[in-house]
Structure formats: structure tokens, C-alpha cells
Structure 1
Amino acid sequence: MVGPKKIVVTGIGATTPLAGTAPESWKALLAGESGTRSFQHEWVAQYEIPVTFAAEALVRPEEVMERVEVRRHDPASQFALIAAREAWADAGVVDFDPDRLLVDWATGIGGVWTLLNAWDTLRERGPRRVLPMTVPMIMPNGPAAAISMSLNARAGARTVVSACASSTESLANAYDHLQQGLADIVITGGSESCIHPITVAAFANMQALSKRNDDPARASRPYDRDRDGFVMGEGAAALVLETEEHAKARGAKIYAEVAGAGITSDSYHITAPDPEGLGATRATKLALEQAGLQTSDIAHVNAHATSTGVGDIAEYHALRAIFGDHLSEVPVSATKASTGHLLGGTGALEAIFTVLALHERLAPPTINLENQDPEIDLDVVTSPRQLPAGDLAAVSNSFGFGGHNAVVAFKTV
């Protein structure tokens, strides 16, 4: 019987609140920078929005895309194209069969800006002024379709929508699709752009957002005793995956191996996680089993760690259930402290950070941790930390509204 194929990462790309590319975002992360800033929008005062900051993408799409292309795509698709093109260029693919190139993409919400702008146009200017491209621009599969057409991917353009677990789930799907032989190369990741008055107001009224309006850069503080909610973020992250055999045949550089993934659901509550992290625990076990890893093999965790009271503690319970006494030896990074929460794009971005942590053997820091919650007994990385030599493995966690849990495991190569 033929065993599972070895799936590797050969390209990365990102546009984030920290920087306009993946390497620059990684550099800013290691430097302990924050991508959270006060809004410079008239609508904050106009609508009396209670939260006046977010982690908006540092480089705006109109700075790097042609004007006509910006006009034809919702911001979620704009960010997706920027990240996917960077990852594709980084992978250095020259000759490929379009029928063997697949897109596995994700978003949590989709084209919310296009939808709400169209509604404003309809009310204020009438139906004839609504853009003909409105429907394609609001479709959740719009980013996947845009990437497929831009890069000539004809093996499929698939879309996952599972809230904040979306792009980790898309990565798991990409792994499966390569194992199944549906493609030679997969472009996977996620994008989000929904920092809008309605979503900010709604999340704030849910008591989910931090309200540190006077100190936005320090608002996202995972595991801190004084954490008061997450910070909305936006942007996109993309990874190019292929079988090791295919990558080596074309002489590609390899960042890391995608070793396995696990997906479960809580069936508990629409917004709150299972307080004991039972679904997250099962997802991690599935990822480790598929990867052929023991808990003692894990040298690093990039945690979901949104900086909410219930979310951080539930994830801690899951980590404790998985790792037991070994947990004290596992350095944990909570990178949303720097990037904010990219919702449907966050898993892919944190997957890139996990891949780079293994590739460079350097765990990134968690900023803003001043008084660690005594109920969360983790070894949290607060300054860049060297990882040991030898074969290493790491996991990246993502959990979303609706009880979605997705965990992916990586190995060094």
C-alpha cells in the first residue's frame, strides 16, 4: 500500500496590519510592533461608534493594484489577490499545468463593504446606479474565483466559510486535495475586509471587542489578566502547497512540511466556545494523529488566543488536556497581540508565522502581556525565542463562531 504523500510549503504571501508582504510582516512581528491604530474615518463620529480603533491593513490595495482592478473587486478579493500573487511569485513556479493547479481559499464574512455600499447607493440614488458587478463582488467565493482567474488555476476554486477557523480549514482541505491527487499545486489561504461601522458596532455590542480607545496599540493582550476583548483586523495570507516529489522535481525551496490537520465542531453555542475546550482538544488530537506526532514532538504552538475572557481560558484547557505536564515545555505565541484578529484570514496568517518559526527556528513574541492570568499557566513567548536544533514540529490553532475548530500541524524539513 502506498503511504501518504509528503506535503510541503513552497511559497508564502501576506498583506497585514503590520506590513504589505509576508517577510515584512514577519520582521515587524519579531520586532514587537503593533498593527492596531486609531480610526481616521468620518463615520466613527458620525455614527458614534463605541470602539475607535482596529488593525487595518497597513498597505492599501489601491497602492499596489491597478485602479480598474480595484474597482472590479471587493476589498476582501483585493487583499486575496495581493497575497496570492506574492505567494505564487515566492514559490517560483514557471511551468505548470493549469488543470493541475487548485485554489482552496477562505473568508469569514465576504464582500460586506460591497453589499452595504450597494444598499446605500440604492437608497440614496436609486436602482439604476447599483453596480452591475455587485453580486460577483459580494459572493464569498469571489476571492477564490479572482485568484483562479489571475493565476490560471483550473483544477478548482473552492471556498470555506467557517468564521475564524476558515483559512485553517482551507489549509486542511488543500492538504487533503493534494493527498487525493486532485492537483499538483494548491494555493490556499484566506482574506477578510469587514472593518465597517456595522460590524464594529455589532461586535462591540456583543462585548467581544476591546474598548481601550485611549491605548489601541496595547489593546490586544492575550492571556493578560486585564484583557477585555479582541481587536478587529483585516488583510490576507496565502501559502503555496505541493507534494514534496513535485517540489523537488522543479527545484523549489521548501519552508516546512504540512504534516496533518484536524477539524471538529463544538455543538455548544453560536459565539462562545465549549468552556472546557473539548472540540479544540479533539481537533488537535486528530491533527497529531494524521501527522504521526506525539505531544512530546511539539516544540511550539501558535495559539488562537484572541484576547477574550472566555476564549483564551477555553483554549488553555484544551492545551492542558492535550499536552499535560509537557505543556510547560512548549513555548506558546499569541500573535494576534500584534496583528489583531483577521477573522477568516487569521488562520492562514498564523500558519505562515508557524511555518517561519520552524524554518528560522525562532518563536515570535506575544506583546502586551503585562500581568499573565494566573488561571492560564502557559510558557508564553514575550520576546523572540530560539527553538532547539533537530527535527521540530509545531501546531497552529483556529476557532470560530459556530463552534468551528481547526488545527494544523507542521514539521521542519
Structure 2
Amino acid sequence: MKPTTRDRLLMVTALAVSLGGTGAIAANYGGKQAPEVQAIEVWAGNDAEGKWSVQFVGDTMLGNGEIRTLDPLALDAALSGVAPLFDGDLVIANAEGPMTFSEQPLIPGKAFSHRVAPQAAWALSKAGVDAISLGNNHSMDMGLIGLQDTIRYARNAGMASFGAGNNLAEAERPLMLRTEAGTIGVVAIGENFGKLSKADEVNPGTVVFSPEAVQRGYDLARAAGADWVIGYVHWGDNYTDTTPQQRYWAQVLVDAGYDVIVGAGSHIAEKIEFIGDVPVAYGLGNFVFGTRGRYESFGKQGVGLMLSLELSPSAPTQMAVRCVVTDNRINGFLTQACTAPQMVGVMSEINPALQIQGDVARMPCRCLEPPE
């Protein structure tokens, strides 16, 4: 289990890495080649055997519903059932709502505009989250102020944030996870969430799918020193099984060179499949999410996945998957681990090759192999 007292060095910085002599392709902004790669840096130590792991969790939003209070104890309680399940040396969550005091939505009248109390940043960090992806359809819900507040509060709480920024150059900065075992670059990219949410040379927002953006994300991560590149993507339709569009972009990501693809956005757990040797987790579902959810009306089970990639210098990478109950009508807004019978049913649907070992299911993958 991940230690709560963090016995590793965790440092978050913005690092400029020269592209000179790397052979990598520079980012291209409107036909202009960028002179350097900007990356978000996180450092972590290995264990005595050189093993290391990164864990991804799905849609996370400590607001709305029954989590409206600013009371830190209430925020801690919302995470109390899942904090013991964090087993990654680094944990990354998809933050589905700006952490800000601002109550001015970017788009007045939008059906779902989320806002989260800034105290949530400290609650997430305290529970064990190390980095948050902002590359989703809610990071701009409270406009530029909300985005900037989120980045600032996350940083103050000791978490890295990536996937959105004041402009495209900031939004597409990869998250670089550096260890003695090697470096993973994590690229956040997603569907087009509207003109006001799409980053460009001068406007804030997120990075939108295009073949060029997918390739540029990979190239930026490699230029910054990544041995492997993971696409942490936001896609799919709410409460809907994997769509043809998701499969199309998964193939584009694989063709671009990505080693692993982890998806979020649909609020339900989706299958884990392979394109060649590349594992594709199409949807992690919700993690801790402060709305009632619409599982019943869509005929879907309210569960989410926690996906760990366990690296070892002497053995194949292992995918470790945990199951959590996310239907707030059932769990009372306190996400908790699935029961043993639920695990059996969920994992057989996600991928029958997953072997259940207690409260986690594992399978090897020919991915993230030790660099030569």
C-alpha cells in the first residue's frame, strides 16, 4: 500500500528542456516551431528492488451533491473509503471541476457547470493524490479564473496539474514522472468541448484531439526525456459503452507511438483491451464524484476502476485493477471498495484475463518494458 507519510521525494516544477540534439520533433503552433519543450516534472523514488508504480483513478469531483460543505472533515470523509486503496507510488486523478471560490460560470445556463471548494485540493493531496489532469470538459466551467485557481491551489497542496493552461503551449505540457527505473510521460488530450474550452496560441483551455495534436503530445513527452508515453484521455458519451469514435482515437494514439492509453469521461467502467501490445483502458468511470449519478436510468452499474501499472526491472509490467462502488444512491456519497462478488462480475466484464487476488485483479502486459 502507498505510504501515507510519503517517504519519497516529490517535486513539481516547470522545466524547459532544449530540443537541440534530441532528434525529437518540436511542437508546432500555427506553423511556428517551438524552441523548447515545457514539461511538468514529478520525481519519485523506487523501492529497494527498483520497483515502481503509477496509479490512475477516474472522474473526481468533490463538489455538488452532498459534498457542498467547506468543512475539511467532510471532504476527508468523502475520501476515507478509497484512500486505503491507493497503492501507486504516484497517483493521478481526473479532476472534473475547478477548485475555486469563483461562482461565475464560463457559460451561464450550461446544464452541468461544476465548482469545487479549494479545500478539496488539500483533501485530495492528504488522501494520496499526487497529480490531477485538467484535460476534460469541466476544467473551464468557471472560466480562466477557475482554471488559474485550480492550478494554484493544486500546487499549494503539493499536487501537479496538467492538461489545461492559459494557452496551448501550457495546456499541452506533458507530465513527466521521473524515477531511477525510467521516465513516464503522461499526455492529457480529449474531445472538443467547445470553442470556449479549446486552448490555442492566446486563449486558455484544453488540448483537443487531432492527428497532429496526438503526435505532438507524444513527441513533446519523448523530447522531454520520456522512456514511455501514456495517453490519459477524456472521451466517450455519458453512461455509454465504448463508442466507435473512442476506438478510432485509440488507434491514432497507438499509431503515434503511445505505450498505454487510459481513458475517462463516460462515468462508467469500460473494457480494458489491447491494440497489439498496447493496453487500452477505455474508461475508468467515476472515482469520488459528488453527484447522484444516472446509472439506473441508463441501465448501467455504478462502479469505477483504479488502474495501477507496476514496473519492475526484472519482470513484465503488471496491470493491477481495483473496483470501487460509485453509485451515490447506494454508497451515500462515500465511495468504497467493491465486494468480492462484485469484483468477480466486474472484472469478468472488463477483461476475462484479469486474475483476482484478494481485492485486486492483475494481468501482465508487454508495455513499459525496462529501457535499454
Please tell me the TM-score bracket, short chain as reference. 0.3 to 0.5
Give the TM-score of the pair, scaled to structure 1. Answer: 0.31
- The higher-RCO structure (CA 8 Å, 6+ apart) is 1
Max Rg structure = 1
Give the TM-score of the pair, scaled to structure 2. Answer: 0.34
